[in-house]
Amino acid sequence: MSKRTILLTGASGRIGQTFFLAMQEHYIFTLVDQKYPDYPISDPHHFILADLSDPTVIEELVSDVENIIHLAGIPHANAVFEDLLPANILTTTYLLQAAAKLQCRRFVFASSAQTIEGYPVDKQIPDGAAVSPANIYGATKCYGEALCSYFASQKGLSSVAIRIGAFEFKENHSLKTARDLSAWLSPDDAVQLLTCAIETEEITFFIAHGISDNRFKRLDLTETRKVLGYTPKDDAFRTFDLTSFEH
């Protein structure tokens, strides 16, 4: 059986690097970013330096792959709209347009828990809750989710949007509060969730919740477990020293 081909945008970022290094034996990757990665790449994989807000480069990138994992974009909650427009709005739009035109099998969009950050921090967000961004960055991710839904229902492009929580390595992390712990997504669980998002069949459009099996969960994992078969293993409240966190 031939290996699936994946266009991985944001390949030089933390999640992109983590997923590629874990799954390079299982998939054939076309890696894309605006800066070179600091990890080795060998055949059959290759890296392309590209600005994805330029629509002239998109279709050629998409033409040789059947799946797209779109991690690229500005990930900062305090980012301003002028920076977010090309990185988070235009890039996502151009990629979805090309993926639909070229009939890609699956589009996986890195959304964010910032889409619901307007809710009280002690509230667990259930599946199907209305979006409530607390910043413009979160609003751009709401746009990306809506666009995935449009291309899935109207253009036939199977799409999964993952509301990624606080992705942090166990060492050298920036988690500070109990809320941060409740939204933690461990590297191992992130790899599993992205793999589930690629491999699960018969999906039109689905919004997955991207956190680990934390004792208290900012996002409810019920539907993500059921639809994608996601079985997270890590728990922030067991992994980290709770005495060092704010409550």
Bridge-based pairing state of the strands 184-185 and 159-164: unpaired
Position 83 pLDDT exceeds 80: yes
Q: What is the pLDDT of residue 244?
A: 58
- This prediction has a pTM of 0.96
- Residue 173, beta-bridge partner list: none
Q: What is the pLDDT of residue 19?
A: 99
Per-residue model confidence as pLDDT tens digits over 177-234: 888 999 999 999 999 999 999 999 999 999 999 999 999 999 999 999 999 999 999 9
Count of beta carbons in the 10 Å neighbourhood of residue 205:
17
**Which H, E and C letters describe 79-114, residue by residue?**
CCHHHHHHHHHHHHHHHHHHHHHCCCCEEEEEEEHH
**Alpha-carbon distances, residue 233 vs 16, 199, 230 (angstroms):** 20, 19, 10
- The domains of the chain, with CATH numbers, are 5-240 (3.40.50.720)
Give 247's pLDDT tier (boundaries 50, 70, 90).
low
Q: What is the pLDDT of residue 45?
A: 98
Alpha carbon distance 48, 9 (integer Å): 10
Give 82's pLDDT tier (boundaries 50, 70, 90).
very high
Per-chain mean pLDDT for the chain: 96
Alpha carbon distance 29, 18 (integer Å): 13
- Residue 163, beta-bridge partner list: 111, 209
Give 4's pLDDT tier (boundaries 50, 70, 90).
very high
Q: What is the pLDDT of residue 102?
A: 97
- Decide: helix, strand or coil at residue 198: helix
Position 146 pLDDT exceeds 90: yes
Q: What is the pLDDT of residue 173?
A: 86
Per-residue model confidence as pLDDT tens digits over 91-133: 999 999 999 999 999 999 999 999 999 999 889 999 999 999 9
Q: What is the pLDDT of residue 107?
A: 99
